[in-house]
Amino acid sequence: MFKDKKVVWINFALFLLTMSIDICLILLGTPYIYKTIASALFVITGIVNMIFIWKSEQRDKNFKFVMLAGLIFACIGDILLIEADLFIYGAISFAIGHIFFFASYCLLEKICWRDLFISVVIFGISLIVILVPTIFNFGSLLPVVIIYALIISFMLGKSISNLFVKKYQGGNFLIMLGSLLFFLSDLMLLFSRFADVSGAFSDACLILYYPAEIILATSIYYANLKIDEKMPFFKRVYCRIFQVCFRAMIPLMPYRQPKILEGMDEIVRVLKEKNIKSLFLATDKQIRGLGLTKELEEKVQNAGIKLTVYDEVLPNPTISMVEKALMVYNENECEALVAFGGGSVMDLGKVVLARKVKPKKSVEKMKGLLKICKKLPPLFAIPTTAGTGSETTLAAVITDDKTHYKYAINDFSLIPHYAVLDYKVTLNLPPFVTATTGMDALTHAVEAYIGRSTTKLTRKMAEDAVKLIVENLQKAYDEPHNIEARQNMLKASYYAGVAFTISYVGYVHAIAHSLGGQYGVAHGLANAVILPHMLKVYGESVYKKLCKLAKISSIANDSDSEQVASEKFIKFIENLNKHFEIPKYIKELKEEDLDLLATHAESEGNPLYPVPVEMDKEHLIDCYKLLIYKN
């Protein structure tokens, strides 16, 4: 919102000057000279901002003139109110000024039923304040006071109503704040003029009044700027408050990192230490068919531990798949679970154990935050892809068979107890899987980094992950048996997993989950396609952070500006996708599904994900449109 530093500093200087005069008024009384200077200053502020906005693209060319007229009549009324005999004329001048203010607000946003409702409520409260207490002595001025209250109630009501409009909310917020301070100032004036109470109300009136006028004068510039917000003001405030509270709780939350094991022998050792007699191995047929699980199976059975292998896990595991695996787990009286595979296998393993400890709670009821809160049996994660980070996270995503809606389940108990980072099981990955899972890890790191809930740990983890991915992902793709590249990609995936487990992801993931649920689009592939589009949508809100990532990973030069460096970073992602033959669009995406998909994405993302820019369903639909296949 406050992009032009020259405008900011000049307005700030005028504000400080006005407040200095305001303090003199409070300390020395109300001589004409101070009152006149203070009143003239907010008119001057309005003229200055009118000059600033003159050549800019404007919402309404008449707004600035009508707002300035309101400031001038307020200035006249302010001076007239000094003399008790002129109070009625001062009140009339202020009333005219308020009418101009109201008219200027109507030029910004057309009158609607919401304006009337809010204004009538405020006027009703005003009447109660005016008529019910017995401390006021209005005399013959009562009708004037009531009419004045009606006018300023509609002025405040319209300013509040404008906040419900998603566009230009920076200026609308300043207008609402100035109107609210003006309203409260008039309330203090009511007590100081018509009630036998302490003179502190007169001082309070001045303290509130001049900031109100300066803010309204400043709004001449900011209300005209074409800044398009992506979510209604009050909803955005709710989301940000939720995220700030969640961020403040991070140090108190039981985040933990899984213990890293060096190989299959270590798994057997832990099983024996814990006296585990029956183990459940969750994997998929492709991984088992490649012989990747053979070493573990042999070592477990040679140790005299009963082994149950469930190799029917499919991409985007469903609720019915979880229930079937749970039945097998219970029938064989298993006491621990090894998830051997990619993110889908680990998601299934986590939720199977969650259902084991919470047998009366359905998967649907586990959706969201902290719905399990119970220690799971020992959970071992062996990632065969360097990307999902599921071996570190508190999240699991399961698809509803009937609605195709993906349930994001988040609970600290879902963090695996042990992670085995063995590069050997990643050597035979198909190149395309290497690419898409690597891009998944990059998305985790970037979304965690550009979000608004980072910590010193997650920033460091995300930076390290991005640097490793930039240096090693293409090598792992081009040279599948490059051991160093494979090891580094496993590290990167782990670091990114730690980062987003604590700092969360964003709308890239929310959109990807909806696409996976509706069309079965692989999660890593969806993330890879969506990420560059979404970073462009975020625009300058992510320039600073993307710039740092670009320079840390040597994508940009130290001399590059934030915008140039961030654009280089996005271009690098696009070039990487092109090298991996990852498409720019989602071919399965249909326009008739956009409303449903955006509903799911908004439900997942808001208010939880601390994204750089908050968006509601309407703007998320616009994001989906960027992904529709173009011939």
Domains 262-426 and 429-631 share a fold: no
pLDDT of residue 30: 57
Look at 250-264, 316-330, 485-499 and tell me which has the smallest mean pLDDT: 250-264
What average pLDDT does this structure show over 403-421?
91
Per-residue pLDDT tens over the stretch 528-539: 999 999 999 999
Tell me the mean pLDDT in the region 420-434.
Answer: 90
pTM above 0.75, yes or no: no
Q: What is the pLDDT of residue 81?
A: 73
Checking if the pLDDT of 578 tops 60, the result is: yes
More confident position, 40 or 579? 579
CATH assignment of 429-631?
A: 1.20.1090.10
Strands 418-420 and 379-383: parallel
Looking at residue 188, its pLDDT comes to 87
Average pLDDT over residues 252-258: 89
- Average pLDDT rounded to a whole number, residues 307-321: 94
Q: What does the pLDDT read at residue 96?
A: 92
pLDDT of the residue at 58: 56
Whole-number pLDDT of residue 4: 63
Residue 226 pLDDT > 70: no
pLDDT, tens only, 475-507: 999 999 999 999 999 999 999 999 999 999 999
- Each residue's pLDDT tens digit, 2-15: 456 677 888 888 88
Structural domain boundaries of the chain? 5-229, 262-426, 429-631
pLDDT on residue 574: 97
Asked whether the predicted pLDDT for residue 224 surpasses 70, the reply is no
Region 38-53: mean pLDDT is 86
**What percentage of the chain reaches a pLDDT higher than 90?**
61
Mean pLDDT value across residues 549-564: 96
pLDDT classification of 240: cutoffs 50, 70, 90:
confident
Mean pLDDT of the chain, nearest integer = 89
Neighbours of 563 (CB within 10 A): 14
Query: How much is the pLDDT for 134?
Result: 75
The H helix count followed by the E strand count for the chain is 23, 9
pLDDT for 220 equals: 86
Cβ burial of 129 (10 Å; 0-12, 13-18, 19+) is middle
Q: What is the reported pLDDT for 508?
A: 97
Q: Which of 226 and 62 is assigned the larger pLDDT?
A: 62
Residue 435 has pLDDT above 90, yes or no: yes
Both tokens of residue 223?
């209300």
DSSP conformation letters of 286-348: HHHHTTTTHHHHHHHHHTT-EEEEE-B--SS-BHHHHHHHHHHHHHTT--EEEEEESHHHHHH
Residues 6+ apart with CB under 8 A from 385: 341, 342, 343, 426, 429, 433, 434, 437, 493, 524
Q: Across residues 236-253, what is the average pLDDT?
A: 86
439 vs 388: CA distance, rounded Å: 9
Distance CA 388, CA 500 (A): 11
Among 513, 525, 509, CA closest to 581: 525
Query: What mean pLDDT comes out for the span 225-241?
Result: 72
pLDDT for the residue numbered 432: 94
- Tell whether the model's pLDDT for residue 630 goes beyond 80: no
CATH class of 262-426: alpha beta
Res. 35 pLDDT band, cuts 50 70 90 = confident
pLDDT at 2: 43
Query: 139 pairs with which residues across the strands?
Result: none
Measured distance CA(278)–CA(79) in Å, rounded = 87
Question: What residues contact residue 40 under an 8 Å CB cut-off, 6+ apart?
Answer: 75
Confidence of residue 190 (pLDDT cuts 50, 70, 90): confident
Cα 505 to Cα 138: distance, rounded to the nearest angstrom: 59
Which of 100-109, 216-225, 502-511 ranks highest by mean pLDDT? 502-511
- Across the range 349-354, mean pLDDT stands at 97
Task: Tell me the pLDDT tens digit for each residue of 384-411.
Answer: 999 889 999 999 999 998 888 888 899 9
- At residue 56, the pLDDT reads 58
